[in-house]
Amino acid sequence: MALAIMGSGGDAPGMNAAVKKFVDYCFEVGEEPWLIYDGLEGLIDDRMKKAQHSDVAGILHRGGCVIRSSRSERFYEYDYRKQAFENLQKHGIGGMVVLGGDGTFRGMDRFCHEFPINFVGIPTTIDNDIYGTDYCLGVDTALNTIREALDRIYDTASTFKRAFVVETMGRECGYLALISAISSGAEVCVIPEVEFNRPVVEARLRQEIAEGRNYILAIVAEGTKMTEKIAGWLEVEMGFETRVTVLGHVQRGGSPSSFDRMMAFEFVIEAIQYLLTGEASDKIVVWKGGGFSLLDIDTVVNNKYRLNPLHLSMLNLLD
């Protein structure tokens, strides 16, 4: 049967690796690969193409996504979802692999309840906020990008006796900020999941300053909306010349790490193999406890991702 792959929502490093493996593996198992361009918008507008090896040659190392992505307001309307389904039928596409995050999977959940769609999702978001999986495609590269930036900022902070406040992405999830703070040795970490205990942090910092500390690095998750507040506190109350760095979309780009590339390959193989079983799909491939499994899409979209308690306990050392 014909199988198609699509990206939707925000891009993440490793999407191109997944697209390449999808095409190569389809040919390996004797299936016909199709590429859906421009995400859900392309699904509606029939921007689909039967793939050849030449379409994915030389893309493995690239960031972004060669088949592009989109967010679609139109997909919220039934008539456009019906049009998307008819496009799939027209090309004889019997199964879809979708790279996306929470919003994408919610849209696909509705889609596959309305129409007989064989769908398997691969969690693809640097936010790492998908229920049921320890890892989402792209997060390793994003963490390495943040780590490199923080290492450089540390050099300047310690040289000029300054405080630096660095804002990370992640929407309402503090995963990037939490892991980056732990792995970089930051003095302050502010995430949406935990109330910032300023008196405790301030008391600890004042003691360390009295003992010779002359710089501070604070990591703030964008979802807290506290970046400027933390900077003002460090400047006015703690007496440090303070600089703010918003890393922004640089965290999404760049050549994917070896780990993200290998995981992209394995996610795709798991997805295609399941589609080929002919069983009812509507599943999400997840990585949990060091292995792959599949969860019903209803389970994924109707539950909230929680940060690892072990990682949160490490945060206690920062506050």
d(C-alpha 246, C-alpha 273), whole Å: 41
Helix residue ranges per DSSP H, 92-244: 102-114, 139-160, 175-184, 198-210, 227-232
Write down the residue that tokens 């660095």 correspond to.
166
Alpha-carbon gap, residue 281 to 287, rounded angstroms: 17
Catalytic residue, chosen from 38, 102, 109, 127, is 127
Outline where the chain has alpha helix (H).
15-28, 39-45, 53-56, 78-90, 102-114, 139-160, 175-184, 198-210, 227-232, 258-275, 297-301, 309-315
Structure-block tokens of residue 87: 């496009």
Paired residues of 71 in beta bridges: none
- 102 catalytic? Reply is no
End-to-end CA distance of the chain: 55
* 95 alpha-carbon distance from chain centroid: 23
Which tokens go with 107? Answer: 């849209």
Q: Please give the structure tokens belonging to residue 142.
A: 């994003």
Quote the tokens at residue 121.
Answer: 């999702």
Cβ pair 157, 200 in contact under 8 A = no
Task: List, in order, residues 6 or more apart from 4 with CB less than 8 Å away.
Answer: 33, 34, 35, 36, 48, 88, 91, 93, 95, 96, 97
Which amino acids are annotated catalytic?
127
